[in-house]
Amino acid sequence: MRKKLYILLVFLSLLSIGFAQQKDGTYNFLNMTSSSRVAALGGTILPIYNPDIQSVIYNPSLINSTMSNSLSLSYVDYYTDISIGSIQYGRTFNKIGSFVGTIQYNDYGDFFYADENGIIDEATFSASNYVINIGWGRQLNDKLSIGANLKFAGLQFENNSSFAIAVDVAGSYVSKSNWVFSLAALNIGSELHNNYQGFNSKLPFKMQAGLSKKLEHLPLTFIFVYDNIQKWDLGYDDPLDLENNYDPITGEMKKKSKLDAFADNLLSHVVVAGELNLGKNLTLRLGYNYGLRKNMISPTKKGAVGLSYGVAINVYKFNISYSRSEMHIHGSPNYITISTNLDSFKKH
């Protein structure tokens, strides 16, 4: 078992060397989630073993037989008239493993044409993108499981289009004391076609590590995620200098102390979350993403940016979950997901 775990970790580490220099670009929507549960818990990998089909979109190593014949529908009321919808379905096949298929569609609404002088035409055009994802998971033994996603992503903008193919690979390990550790490499692939650029866009490769523990004497699961393992410095120079990082006299950037710079970089990778079960039918969720807060706050009014929260209830044979993610002070997307297992409707 230790040998299998060692091979998996070495494989994922080698992947990071080859793709660490890729930058986010056209396909950054691959990192957008429509899952209410994922959004409520920080929007990253979830290292939690349970039958919830929502949790596997960034962590295919969690796909297991308890998700067979599960169905999940999600909808996101994003900003203005932007909306996101997805459908997931799981199925297990003997000797092959368990599979989860996901189709996610992002609709950005209609836009008016305008010429170089800003004169608006009455005609409109649309923009959208989509991801078709086939995930596979297999449990190697009672402690170790592996999984992979095969993803086909496309973008349509007016008469222009592009599409790419990518894979995710992940592994999860459960300790004797029921700590769950997951490691994933996401968006490994390349663009296959575009008809509106003179170069190929890079996919937003990233690696994530997650750790979770369900407390023994409290129905609380604590989650810790280290995001973007492949890159240490996640900072960038803001040309507007909204936080007064440049000296107005010399024009030079104010230097932070080594300790402050180290702490800021470290926290930019950290996501913490918790899930509290109040009985069998009610779950409360809370997450905090410091990296999101750092990139999206307004210096004059920081608010609760970076915080996410949600609730889930079981009604009859359905699990209904709702969440909000405080991405900006001017608004927060609303996520709703309805899940069920179709086997529960069969007569025994």
The Cβ of residue 303 has, within 10 Å, a number of other Cβ atoms equal to 15
Asked if residue 330 is part of any domain, the answer here is yes
Instruction: Please report, as a single letter, which amino acid is at residue 76.
Output: V
Report the CATH number that the domain containing residue 318 is assigned in CATH.
2.40.160.40
Q: What is the pLDDT at residue 12?
A: 43
Asked whether 135 and 56 are in contact (CB, 8 A), the reply is yes
What is d(CA 202, CA 200) in angstroms, rounded to the nearest whole number? 7
Q: What is the pTM of this model?
A: 0.85
CA-based torsion, 162, 165, 171, 172: positive or negative: positive
Q: How far is CA 315 from CA 54, 319, 324, in A?
A: 17, 6, 21
CA distances in angstroms from 245 to 203, 232, 238, 256, 300, listed in the order given: 30, 20, 9, 10, 15
Per-residue confidence (pLDDT) for residue 22, from 0 to 100:
43
**What's the pLDDT tens digit per position in 306-338?**
899 999 999 999 999 999 998 777 778 999 999
98 falls within a domain: yes
C-alpha distances out from residue 99 to 70, 131, 166, 232, 313, Å: 11, 16, 17, 33, 26
pLDDT for 249:
61
At residue 247, the pLDDT reads 58
Is residue 118 included in any domain, yes or no? no
Q: What pLDDT, on a 0 to 100 scale, did the predictor assign at position 43?
A: 92
Domain-embedded: residue 119: no
Domains of the chain: total:
1
Q: What is the pLDDT of residue 236?
A: 63
Q: What is the pLDDT of residue 297?
A: 76
Task: State residue 11's pLDDT score.
Answer: 39
pLDDT in tens, 190-232: 999 888 766 778 899 999 999 999 998 899 999 999 999 999 8
Helices (H), the chain: 2-19, 36-40, 258-268, 290-296
Report the relative pairing of strands 83-93 and 97-114 from DSSP bridges.
antiparallel
Question: In this predicted structure, what is the pLDDT of residue 262?
Answer: 86
Residues of the chain with pLDDT under 70: 1-25, 197-198, 236-255, 299-302, 348
Segments forming the whole domain that contains residue 39: 2-113+124-345
